Amino acid sequence: MTELSDLELIHPLKLFDIAKNEKRFLYASAPMVRYSKLAFRQTVYAYGTDLCWTPMILAKEFNRNRFARDSDFTISTNGPQPPTIVQFGANVPQELARASSLVAPFSNGVDLNCGCPQSWACAETLGAALMEKRELVRDMVVETREQLRRDGWAVDKEKDINNPKGRSVSVKIRVHKDLRKTIDFIATVLGPERDRHIDWLTIHPRTRSTPSSTPINLEALEILTSTFGTRVPILLSGDVFALNALPFTSPLLTTRPTITTTTTPPRDITSCSSEHPRHNQPPTSLPNLPHVSGLMSARAILCNPALYAGHSTCPWSAVEAFLNNAVRCPLPFKLVLHHLSEMCGPGMGADKSALLTKPERAAMMACGNMLDLIDFLDGRRGVRRGIFTL
């Protein structure tokens, strides 16, 4: 973690406010273990993302190990510093509070992961296992807010919206099979009507055991947002594949023109599948969800970091931006390759055109180092249009 003084950070609730005034959703990039590192966050920020999540960081390790801190959380000292929410995995109030205290000077807010379904996490009462521990989650966010206040941060939510010391505390959840349990969970974690414990809530409307290929539970989202959406801003995480293909309507859904990448090669039929059935279904009448304040994308933004700028597929310029950022804020080479294979393949939206064909992507994956990779992409892009300017 880099030392940096005088970092002026915007309060995330101010970003919600700005988006609302612009009659649009707040655009967020999801926490993604391995992937939502600085170089990627900078890339999506360049394409209109308002708020970027780090991958989940284990608070206990972060508190105890300097090397864990250095490897898990990096910020930019001289490049764009996207508004950043650091997400922690924790199950002890003091651990979350301590880790939050460590990152508060360098981040806009902290978030608690109550959604990770992986068995190792649940076995340790982390992630989705916390959905059965609502009092513990409440205690963790209360303790964290108090610790941040003791440290001199401004944690009074809307009251501190213009305060450069303003920091947020939020929670990301899944839903239960029995939605009454989710309602009890949220009511407990929110706390008092007039002084809620969290700045906002992110809902991933799938249960711990729902596969990500199953569409999100819109009915659950409708009930939860209509019950709590006037008390707390709610972000939707799940199936945000394209701005013009959301499975609901909203007053914040101002239609923007979709930008189609003009240099895309012919449709990559080999990689097209019916993995994302919603896009193969005829349009039906969509529910109106007026209390969703923001959108959080994971799999789709991984494929297309320019999603919120209205691009229907990943443009070459985003590949170029990502490579530039990855050179300046290094990532393991295999990870760079994986990012690029996602960005150059068919994305999650209805437009399945891809920057590279399947054989071309296989050739890219065979590159052994960064120089070969840049040469390869230069060559491919040169064939399509221009060359990279790294």
Ligand X SMILES: Cc1cc2nc3c(=O)[nH]c(=O)nc-3n(C[C@H](O)[C@H](O)[C@H](O)COP(=O)(O)O)c2cc1C
Binding mask 352-371 for ligand X (x = CB under 6 A): --------------------
User: What b/e readout covers 125-162, taking b as 16+ CB neighbours within 10 angstroms?
Assistant: ebbbbbbebbebbbbbbbbbbebbeebebbbebeebbe
CA distances from 344 to 188, 212, 279 (A): 44, 22, 20
Token code pair at residue 236: 């939707």
* 300 interacts with ligand X by CB under 6 A: yes
Q: Which is nearer to ligand X, 83 or 380 (CB)?
A: 83
Token code pair at residue 260: 């189609």
Minimum gap (Å) between residue 328 Cβ and ligand X: 23
User: What b/e readout covers 374-387, taking b as 16+ CB neighbours within 10 angstroms?
Assistant: bebbeebbeeeeee
Binding mask 64-93 for ligand X (x = CB under 6 A): -----------------------x------
Minimum gap (Å) between residue 123 Cβ and ligand X: 17
Binding mask 136-175 for ligand X (x = CB under 6 A): ------------------------------------x---
Count CA atoms within 13 Å of residue 118 on its CB side.
Answer: 9
Candidate ranges 91-99, 293-301, 316-324, 382-390; the one touching ligand X (CB under 6 A): 293-301
Contact assessment for residue 239 and residue 247, using Cβ atoms and an 8 Å cutoff = yes
* 240 interacts with ligand X by CB under 6 A: yes
Closest by Cα among 35, 32, 38 to 1: 38
The binder of ligand X chosen from 12, 31, 83, 233 (CB under 6 A): 31
Q: Coil, helix or strand for 244?
A: helix
Candidate ranges 11-19, 28-36, 227-235, 372-380; the one touching ligand X (CB under 6 A): 28-36
The binder of ligand X chosen from 100, 113, 225, 293 (CB under 6 A): 113
The binder of ligand X chosen from 9, 28, 56, 59 (CB under 6 A): 56
Q: Which is nearer to ligand X, 297 or 357 (CB)?
A: 297
Contact assessment for residue 93 and residue 143, using Cβ atoms and an 8 Å cutoff = yes
Residue type, 49: T
Token code pair at residue 94: 């003091």
Which residue is it, tokens 């892009």? 381
Alpha-carbon distance of 373 to 295, in angstroms, equals 33
The binder of ligand X chosen from 51, 99, 298, 354 (CB under 6 A): 298
Secondary structure percentages of the chain, helix, strand, coil, to 5: 45, 10, 45
Q: Which is nearer to ligand X, 299 or 381 (CB)?
A: 299
The binder of ligand X chosen from 50, 199, 222, 239 (CB under 6 A): 239
Candidate ranges 70-78, 109-117, 151-159, 226-234; the one touching ligand X (CB under 6 A): 109-117
The binder of ligand X chosen from 24, 291, 299, 352 (CB under 6 A): 299
Q: Which is nearer to ligand X, 32 or 289 (CB)?
A: 32
Minimum gap (Å) between residue 81 Cβ and ligand X: 20
List residues binding ligand X (CB under 6 A): 30-33, 35, 55-56, 87, 113, 115-116, 172, 204, 212, 237-240, 297-300
